[in-house]
């Protein structure tokens, strides 16, 4: 072969911005002694501006030109996988893919006959294999036919690989989003377990999913008891507080305690949900048990009511983890409550709004928040932030209910009401 004329090497890449797998680079040069026909060259354009069918036709022709005894072009493709992208970042990985494709094409050509090396983009790369710094051209794949040819080879090569991975990961719908951050891809990534071995875990959207804390629904019985659980749990979970305490009387007391919830949530930057004040449910659940001693069956039924409702909320929201602040107070029977939590973690709950049973198994965190000075820490917190501390549990049958208990019950009876 006569190498009287200088060779120009052109480099382009594909797959720089997708969230999946490798980056692909192609180095290419036309043979100055045996150039393709001008009619063919006029068909070359930025690969992104060509139809898929047209790209594949041109790709096949370019490959054909490269395998003759006296080839019309030389090219090489190099792939850098997602593991290296995550290790050295995409810019360096892109440079490495270009460098390795360049190294391979330099093996095919007498280096003394190379006139210049041009790169599509503005990364301003340098390569130790070259004496001179490559020329960077922004938008080169739309301006220069050689870079267009390199972009076509890189993109079609990438697409052929992509079609193979689509067979391996059919539920990823690769053929729809082409590995970019489409709405469908984002929906897929909501489930951390669906992140594949070919995802670029250093990319922010994927990294955020991997680093996301699991959600936990925390039932709130009162705010003094909630302070320590919230502070401790939010280190490892995205805590969502669920206020559900229809046992609290009167309504003004219930509402006062709820607004203390809001205050603490604002301080701790956690989300909260306000459950319904269905006080009639409370009275129905403890019917015939009103005068049993505190901590006995009446209280057990009250715990059970609130935990059943919290389990239902967790299932409706699709939250696996849950727990309750009921186990902060030293006045609660932990063994009794742990048994109830096991019951509602397994037992299905009924959703009145949909008239159906919800069956998802829940994972209850059996944490005794009262340990490690939990109660003392809650007192310190409420004092520091001026959080209201009630002087009775909330139930009108509580031993510590205010002195006007009898008047209160009498008024309920006179008005035939369940709350005032």
**pLDDT recorded at residue 417:** 52
CA 398/CA 155 separation, integer angstroms:
73
Q: Do 160 and 236 have their domain in common?
A: no
Q: Do 128 and 267 have their domain in common?
A: no
**In angstroms, what CA-CA distances link 325 with 53, 150, 175, 217, 239?**
62, 63, 47, 11, 12
**pLDDT recorded at residue 413:** 59
Q: Is residue 209 part of a domain?
A: no
Q: Is residue 189 part of a domain?
A: no
**pLDDT recorded at residue 409:** 60
Q: Is residue 391 part of a domain?
A: yes
Q: Do 264 and 162 have their domain in common?
A: no
Round the CA-based radius of gyration of the chain to a whole number and report it.
34
Q: Is residue 338 part of a domain?
A: yes
Nearest of 81, 67, 79, 85 to residue 31 by alpha carbon: 67
Nearest of 94, 70, 68 to residue 1 by alpha carbon: 70
Q: Which domain holds residue 340?
A: 215-415
**pLDDT recorded at residue 255:** 93
Q: Is residue 181 part of a domain?
A: no
Q: Do 160 and 231 have their domain in common?
A: no
**In angstroms, what CA-CA distances link 110 with 113, 149, 357?**
6, 22, 75
Peptide bond just before 250 cis, omega within 30 deg: yes
User: What are the φ/ψ torsions at residue 274 (nearest 5 degrees)?
Assistant: -95, 115
**pLDDT recorded at residue 420:** 41
Instruction: Out of 135, 169, 203, pick the residue that ends a domain.
Output: 169
CA 109/CA 102 separation, integer angstroms:
11
Q: Is residue 114 part of a domain?
A: yes
Q: Do 247 and 114 have their domain in common?
A: no
Q: Do 269 and 132 have their domain in common?
A: no
Q: Which CATH number does the domain housing residue 122 bear?
A: 3.30.420.10
Range 123-158 burial, b when 16+ CB lie within 10 A, else e: eebebeebeeebeebeebbeebbbbbbbbbbbbbbb
Q: Do 286 and 400 have their domain in common?
A: yes
Q: Do 42 and 107 have their domain in common?
A: yes
Average pLDDT, consecutive stretches of 10 residues, N- to C-terminus, the chain (420 residues) = 70 88 93 90 82 92 91 95 94 95 91 87 89 86 83 91 88 77 82 87 89 92 84 93 93 91 92 94 91 83 92 92 82 74 82 77 84 82 88 80 61 54
Q: Which CATH number does the domain housing residue 233 bear?
A: 3.40.50.620
Q: Is residue 250 part of a domain?
A: yes
Q: Do 256 and 398 have their domain in common?
A: yes
Q: Do 155 and 224 have their domain in common?
A: no
The count of domains in the chain is 2
Nearest of 49, 395, 99 to residue 254 by alpha carbon: 395
Q: Do 156 and 230 have their domain in common?
A: no
């Amino acid at each position: 072969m006569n190498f009287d004329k200088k060779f120009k090497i052109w480099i382009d890449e594909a797959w720089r911005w997708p969230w999946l797998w490798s980056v692909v680079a192609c180095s290419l040069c036309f043979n100055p002694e045996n150039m393709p026909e001008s009619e063919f060259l006029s068909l070359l354009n930025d690969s992104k501006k060509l139809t898929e069918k047209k790209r594949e036709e041109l790709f096949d022709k370019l490959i054909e030109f490269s395998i003759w005894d006296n080839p019309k072009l030389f090219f090489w493709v190099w792939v850098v996988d997602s593991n290296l992208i995550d290790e050295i970042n995409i810019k360096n990985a892109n440079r490495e893919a270009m460098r390795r494709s360049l190294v391979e094409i330099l093996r095919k050509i007498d280096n003394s006959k190379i006139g210049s090396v041009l790169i599509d983009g503005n990364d301003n790369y340098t390569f130790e294999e070259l004496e001179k710094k490559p020329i960077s051209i922004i938008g080169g794949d739309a301006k220069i036919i050689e870079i267009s040819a390199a972009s076509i080879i890189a993109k079609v090569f990438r697409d052929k690989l992509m079609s193979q991975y689509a067979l391996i990961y059919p539920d990823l719908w690769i053929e729809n989003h082409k590995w970019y951050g489409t709405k469908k891809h984002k929906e897929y990534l909501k489930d951390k377990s669906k992140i594949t071995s070919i995802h670029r875990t250093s990319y922010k959207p994927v990294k955020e999913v991997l680093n996301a804390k699991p959600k936990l629904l925390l039932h709130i019985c009162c705010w003094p008891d909630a302070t320590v659980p919230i502070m401790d749990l939010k280190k490892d979970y995205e805590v969502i507080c669920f206020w559900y305490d229809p046992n609290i009387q009167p309504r003004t007391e219930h509402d006062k305690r709820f607004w203390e919830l809001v205050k603490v949530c604002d301080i701790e930057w956690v989300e909260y949900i306000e459950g319904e004040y269905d006080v009639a449910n409370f009275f129905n659940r403890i019917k015939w048990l009103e005068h049993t001693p505190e901590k006995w069956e009446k209280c057990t039924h009250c715990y059970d009511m609130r935990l059943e409702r919290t389990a239902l909320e967790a299932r409706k929201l699709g939250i696996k983890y849950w727990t309750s602040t009921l186990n902060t107070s030293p006045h609660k029977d932990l063994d009794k409550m742990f048994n109830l939590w096991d019951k509602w973690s397994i037992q299905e709950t009924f959703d009145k709004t949909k008239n159906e049973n919800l069956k998802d198994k829940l994972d209850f965190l059996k944490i005794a928040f009262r340990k490690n000075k939990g109660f003392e820490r809650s007192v310190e917190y409420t004092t520091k932030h001026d959080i209201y501390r009630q002087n009775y549990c909330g139930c009108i049958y509580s031993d510590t209910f205010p002195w006007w208990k009898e008047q209160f019950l009498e008024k309920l009876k006179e008005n035939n009401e369940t709350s005032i």
